[in-house]
């Protein structure tokens, strides 16, 4: 019996969030071509900064883990349809698959902006084919071939974006 009540409590935030975005649509805040932005950042978890500990010479006391925040933001209104906190350091592209479907459910994005940390073909495919986002602007990380020269991406969406940006 107690478990059922807890489940209802857990859904309360989702209901509140849905009501907030429904009201934003009614007020006309989410009109036109919606642009989404996804990014992550790490925070200090101690009372002294990482930089200070290095300067003092006490590097053995440095922790390797810190809180990392990832968000999806609507560029015009700065509403946050999805966010998560996890332990860093970790790759940004992992959170892309968790955050973007939830955010796109609340605000159907036409364009998506991200940094190089989110560049992988799976993310482009998810955004464009899976969620119907028309444009993804994620800078392409070019690899270095055996000859030491930069190589072009071999996958469809990454190659298309590289051609468009040149």
The pLDDT-based confidence of 142 (bands split at 50, 70, 90) is: low
Dump pLDDT digits (tens) for 80-130: 999 999 988 888 888 999 999 999 999 999 999 999 889 888 999 999 999
What's the pTM value of the predicted model, to 2 decimals?
0.77
- Terminal C-alpha separation, the chain: 61
Domains and CATH numbers, the chain: 32-165 (3.30.420)
Q: Over pLDDT 90: what percentage of the chain?
A: 44
Q: Which residues contact 76 (CB under 8 A, 6 or more apart)?
A: 29, 32, 34, 35
């Amino acid at each position: 019996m107690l478990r059922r009540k807890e489940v209802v409590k857990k859904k309360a935030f989702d209901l509140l969030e849905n009501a907030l975005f429904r009201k934003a649509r009614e007020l006309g805040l989410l009109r036109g071509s919606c642009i989404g932005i996804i990014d992550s950042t790490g925070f200090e978890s101690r009372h002294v900064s990482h930089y200070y500990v290095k300067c003092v010479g006490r590097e053995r006391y440095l922790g390797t883990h810190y809180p990392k925040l990832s968000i999806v933001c609507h560029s015009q209104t700065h509403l946050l349809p999805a966010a998560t906190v996890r332990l860093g350091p970790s790759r940004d592209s992992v959170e892309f698959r968790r955050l973007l479907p939830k955010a796109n459910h609340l605000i159907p994005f036409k364009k998506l902006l991200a940094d190089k940390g989110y560049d992988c073909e799976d993310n482009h495919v998810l955004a464009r084919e899976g969620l119907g986002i028309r444009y993804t602007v994620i800078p392409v990380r070019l690899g270095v071939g055996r000859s030491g020269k930069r190589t072009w991406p071999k996958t469809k969406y990454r190659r298309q974006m590289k051609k468009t940006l040149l």
